[in-house]
Structure 1
Amino acid sequence: MADCPGVLHLAAMADGGLARIRTLGGALTGAQARAVGEAAERLGSGVVDLTNRANLQIRGLAPDAGPELASRLEAAGFRFGRAERRRNILLDPFSGIDPGERRDLRSLGAALDQALSSAPWIESLSPKFSFVLDGGGPIGIGATPSDVAVVAARDGLVVTAGQVSAAFGSEDGAVDALLSIAAAAAAEGGDMRAGGLSEPMIRKALTSSGGAVLATPPPRANAVEPRLGLVAMRAGGVALSLPVPVGRLDQAMLDFLANIAERDGEGRLVLTPWSAVVIPGLAESRAAALLAPSVAVGFPPLAVAERLAVVACAGAPACERAHEPAKALGREILALAASDPARLPERRASLHLSGCPKGCGGAVPADLLLLGSSERAGWSAHRDAAPRRPGQELGRLEAPGAAEALALLATTR
């Protein structure tokens, strides 16, 4: 399997080629959302996955579909080039609209994206090297694991790599520091990440860019706090954060989002790392009226998503490592919870379905983990666990249905 796919660099999966589409901060125009849905339907299996780093993936492509896919997406305004697989920049989806954020970092993100695209060393940088930009809002996107993080402070910006943090008074200095650290990793070659660089090397990159190294790194958020539903915007109106069932979209859902964004919003939508899509710039009454139609095209009811978070990897038959249909079971669970709300947990709970210990769906512990194995069929159940840290096994489920999974989740609360 190809490592870290892009659009021109597909990964060979059990269900065909996999393309990953990276966008700056998860932002898409309505036309771009439609183009992704149409490309998935015409060139792939029709399946589009929203990843836990706010990227989109098209599944079921022919091995040689990359050039045609790129051509279709470029016509809608996407761009690809030498840096395509290395533009891993995650921003708070509410950047620029959240009244609680300290600083809108979208301009910093755009400057970093442009600089990466033209950096002479970019093809030597690991495709896994990632940046996270946190404007200091209540979501705490800076808690997302990354190689380098920028967090807005009261009087500037703090850049952290490894165990070293430095304060910057300007965005230009912060961008220079991010590039210096990435360049140092690229110079080391291989799959070098920021965590593998020596502390003196990181300090040099930070101070040479004008940063003041901090004796005590400032505290960062412990976890990302997802937002769903109607969220008040700084300039008035609301943003609608619609949950995506186990991160899976199709053409009809993407068309629905694009139509709302263009007709009722600002013409754009923003992908989130918690399996939701944000549409900013709506009138509150209009946003509330869109919840029922969203369910009709495949989005889960907001009342279900607010009580039950279901994360699932691709699972079988899409992944050759998995025996269990993680995505399919996750969607069945959400559908049953929507049709019979009495099965929902009393308080918000999380369920993670991972087809194998690799944990492609995410590393955050869930209230209940159902963990598959590459060697045998069935799931092992674990409480308060993540795929790579499952802890004690509660028992095994050979072929659980949605009702059994929900009943088991209730016993963990």
Structure 2
Amino acid sequence: MSSPATSSPATSPPAGSAAAVPRGRVDACPGALQTHTAADGELARVRVPGGLLTSAQLRVLAAAARDLGDGALELTSRGNLQLRGLAPEAAPELGRRLAAAGLLPSESHERVRNVLASALTGRSGGHLDVRPWVAAFDAGLCADPALAALPGRFLATLDDGRGDVTGLGGDVGLLALDPDTVALTLAGVDSGLRATPADAVDLALAATRAFLAERAAQGGTAWRLAELPDGPARVAARLPGPRAAPVPLPPAAVTGPVGAEVQADGRTALAGVVPLGRLTAAQADLLASLADEVQLTPWRSVVVPDLDEHRVDDAAVDLHRTGVVLDADSPWLRVTACAGRPGCARSLADVRADAATAVTSGALPAGGARQHWAGCERRCGRPRGDVVDVVATPAGYRVNCGRTPLPPTPR
């Protein structure tokens, strides 16, 4: 590690983190075409609605990481992917490859296609299959020119009733309460609006348009619905439809499924965590060889579904051999990190290397509690919920074991 860790009490949220503080600049969230200049080159973020990728698309992404980037794909807390280390002139070629693979259906909307879906939906658990919702919501989003004006941090959550993604901070969300009833959620609360499964996507799209309308009415600077004063109530008031008494919503899930899960059709899905979210091109190619479709999750894990019984053991061995974690008790499920050095100029340490050393040596601070390693006080990528902060300082790492009510910085 760079230097010893020290402990400190909880700190207050940094200035400007409160929802009521107006945004003074346009959201500049990177995309596949609008890249961000980092210390290690250009960074591109590829939106993957619902985290759903075909094997062919995954192979295209793996090849792009090899040919254009640093050889790896980063899994984000929104089930998207990032490519790092791109040359400044690489963006047009990346765009051509993504478009040919069906990963760039709309150049004007590519930064706003942030859609989370329940893991294993349609295969195991839940009241219904939300994969059709993913496709319909994404198509409706891209078909409306006005929705290209959404901030790049806008997030939709489509939850099949298991409650795994509803608590992850969606601006607009759908939660199946039973096989016939869907609740519209707004900024993490139940709006009281209800729909049938067939009408749910139309309601979510209407709420998305209502967010833009309310944002414009209040000055047009907010990046998230929660930043608008009385935002959820004002957006709900703009929408027609049946209403019911709001119900409590499930909290944010700490982890997703890990290991083998028997599907409703008798086949098996393998869910594996990718340590610190860094998926090598070789790992991506392996995943593409195992199934026709994979799902990325917001817990920086990958679901490989539809495995016949005779293939499960071999697939698990291959995934484990390449470093994908299938053990629900592994410390890797409790450790996240920002990019750190050399990718981020703000970082004071190579936090990924230091976190990996702590895991492999059994020297995680705070007794191995759920923790986020960060190269500076911004704590980018910090997950929701109770998390120990391990923050690099000029004097070493500071371990904050208190409950710091900081909002996460999504990636």
State TM-score, norm by structure 1: 0.82
Question: SS where residue 58 of structure 1 aligns?
Answer: strand
CA distance in 1, matches of 2:195, 2:101: 37
Post-superposition Cα deviations, 1:362-402, rounded to whole Å, max 9, x if no partner, equal: 232456421124xx352111225458389xxxxxxxxxxxx
Corresponding letter in the other structure for 1:107:
P
CA distance in 1, matches of 2:380, 2:56: 29
1:164–1:94 Cα change, 3 Å = closer
Post-superposition Cα deviations, 1:262-289, rounded to whole Å, max 9, x if no partner, equal: xxxxx01100111211000012452233
1:124-163 alignment runs, 5 A limit: 124-137=149-162, 140-154=164-178, 155-162=180-187, 163=189
1:198–1:314 Cα change, 3 Å = closer
1:90-239 alignment runs, 5 A limit: 90-98=116-124, 100-137=125-162, 140-154=164-178, 155-162=180-187, 163=189, 165-187=191-213, 188=216, 189-195=220-226, 196=228, 198=231, 201-207=234-240, 210-212=241-243, 214-215=244-245, 217-224=246-253, 225-239=255-269
Aligned residue for 2:110? 84
Aligned residue for 1:10? 35
Question: SS where residue 82 of structure 2 aligns?
Answer: strand
Q: Is contact 1:53–1:90 with CA below 8 Å preserved after alignment?
A: yes
Q: Is contact 1:125–1:191 with CA below 8 Å preserved after alignment?
A: no
1:289 aligned to which of 279, 300, 314: 314
Aligned residue for 1:246? 276
Q: Give 1:192 deviation, angstroms.
A: 4.5
1:229–1:384 Cα change, 3 Å = farther
User: Can you give the 5+ residue segments of structure 1 that lack an aligned partner in the other structure?
Assistant: 262-266, 338-342, 391-413
CA distance in 1, matches of 2:168, 2:309: 30
CA distance in 2, matches of 1:285, 1:302: 20
Residue range with higher mean Cα deviation, 107-116 or 286-295 = 286-295
1:237-276 alignment runs, 5 A limit: 237-261=267-291, 267-276=292-301
Post-superposition Cα deviations, 1:205-231, rounded to whole Å, max 9, x if no partner, equal: 332xx232x33x211111314211101
Q: Give 1:177 deviation, angstroms.
A: 2.6
1:24 aligned to which of 39, 49, 55: 49
Aligned residue for 1:363? 383
Residue range with higher mean Cα deviation, 169-178 or 245-254 = 169-178
Percent identity between matched residues is 35
Aligned residue for 1:408? none
Residue range with higher mean Cα deviation, 244-253 or 321-330 = 321-330
CA distance in 2, matches of 1:344, 1:287: 32
1:199–1:88 Cα change, 3 Å = closer
CA distance in 1, matches of 2:282, 2:235: 46
Question: SS where residue 5 of structure 1 aligns?
Answer: coil
Aligned residue for 1:55? 80
CA distance in 1, matches of 2:70, 2:158: 33
Residue range with higher mean Cα deviation, 51-60 or 166-175 = 166-175
Corresponding letter in the other structure for 1:32:
Q
Corresponding letter in the other structure for 2:185:
T
Whether 2:94 is the aligned partner of 1:74: answer no
1:306–1:121 Cα change, 3 Å = same
The alignment yields a C-alpha RMSD, in angstroms, of 2.7
Question: SS where residue 219 of structure 1 aligns?
Answer: coil
Size of the alignment, in residue pairs? 372
Q: Is contact 2:349–2:375 with CA below 8 Å preserved after alignment?
A: yes
CA distance in 1, matches of 2:242, 2:238: 9
Q: Is contact 2:325–2:332 with CA below 8 Å preserved after alignment?
A: no
Whether 2:340 is the aligned partner of 1:315: answer yes
User: Can you give the 5+ residue segments of structure 2 that lack an aligned partner in the other structure?
Assistant: 1-25
Question: SS where residue 142 of structure 1 aligns?
Answer: coil
CA distance in 1, matches of 2:349, 2:405: 14
* Higher RCO structure (Cα 8 Å, ≥6 apart): 2
Corresponding letter in the other structure for 2:273:
P
State TM-score, norm by structure 2: 0.83
Residue range with higher mean Cα deviation, 82-91 or 354-363 = 354-363
Question: SS where residue 274 of structure 1 aligns?
Answer: coil
Q: Give 1:108 deviation, angstroms.
A: 1.7
